[in-house]
Amino acid sequence: KLLIKDLRVDEVPLRIYQPKSPPTGKRRGILYFHGGAGTFGSIRAFERICRYMAKKCNSVVVSVGYRLAPEHPYPGQYFDCLNATLYFMRNLEEYHVDPALIIVSGDSCGANFATVICQILLNNRDLPKVRAQVLLYPGLQGLDFQLPSYQQNASVPILYRKLVLYFCFRYLNKEPKFLKDILHNCHVCESVRSKYKKWVSADLIPDEFKIRGYVPPTPPSYKPEVYETIKEVLALTFSPLLAEDSVICQLPEAYIVTCEFDVLRDDGLLYKKRLEDNGVQVTWYHSESGFHGILAFFGYGIFSFFSGKKIVDNLVNYINSL
């Protein structure tokens, strides 16, 4: 039912999925950035999700095989995703895509890339506006590793709390150091913590997400040497949750998926609140039994999870509603 073709744009592999049936009108165009902490994962690993979306949404799906760190240094991943997006937006006619129906999506770090791309594109008036951002259990900030979800799900597979930091260092091509200090937020000085407390704080997480054993942490002591080790995590590319309100209020409507058993759950909850506080429409789906990375198992028969299927089917329903 699909026509699938591979091509390269500025050395970046793309796989494009198009319905074989002749278009009765303009189709939606969906860009998909896969997860994998920027250091692993591939177009092939997310083939099933992209095929499913292309068929069920009668859409053109562009899966982006951005080059991986540390071999392809950070922040090159963002430029790969941006170049792929620009290529697609400039060739919509070829794919019979409606310029008013472009969706930028991704899971995990791919959702981070999608968020950043949407923010970058606000400055480009010559391109079509993004219709919606679809963020599946996104990682959006490196400011606070003591949020309730980080505490509650520290030992939940597949993404342990310590693994988050390991992948951060690998992504940034650095030696992992001061892990314990970073987990206790010693990389953030008091002035920065105060500045962003209105956007990143356990106080902003609804109480129902704290009942599973959350303990408010003692205030950390700032250590400049720890900050120097991992200061990149406070940049807007790494932490798009820290963008100013003047940027957030211009963003397209969002579909956000969070999973209960995910260290990154609260990143999604905080971004949902930020968007809503700035008048941006948000459709939110919370998987009460889901865990981080559940979509990597989608379509694998007995190895897949019912919760993952529900996430994807809700996502399809949302896209079809646009």
108 is catalytic: yes
Residue 276 has pLDDT above 90, yes or no: yes
pLDDT for residue 125 is more than 90: no
| Separation CA 159–CA 140 (nearest Å) | 15
Instruction: Catalytic residue, from 34, 149, 292, 307: name it.
Output: 292
177-189 tens-digit pLDDT: 999 999 999 999 9
pTM (global) more than 0.85: yes
Q: 43 and 51 in contact (C-beta within 8 Å)?
A: no
Q: Which of 108, 239, 287, 307 is catalytic?
A: 108
The last residue of a domain, from among 192, 207, 231? 231
Measure the CA–CA gap between 85 and 130, rounded to whole angstroms.
Answer: 10
| CATH (domain of 275) | 3.40.50.1820
pLDDT score recorded for residue 296: 94
Of 107, 262, 266, 267, the catalytic one is: 262
* Residues 79, 173 within the same domain: no
Same domain, 262 and 216: no
Write down the pLDDT at residue 57: 97
DSSP 44: G
Question: Any catalytic annotation for residue 304?
Answer: no
Q: Among the three residues 186, 212, 231, which one is the final residue of a domain in this structure? A: 231
C-beta atoms surrounding 303 within 10 Å: 9
Residues 181 and 307 in one domain: no
Task: Provide the residue range defining the domain that includes 125.
Answer: 2-142+237-321
Write the pLDDT tens digit of every residue in 228-268.
999 999 999 999 999 999 999 999 999 999 999 999 999 99
Annotated active-site residue 292? The verdict is yes
| Number of domains present in the structure of the chain | 2
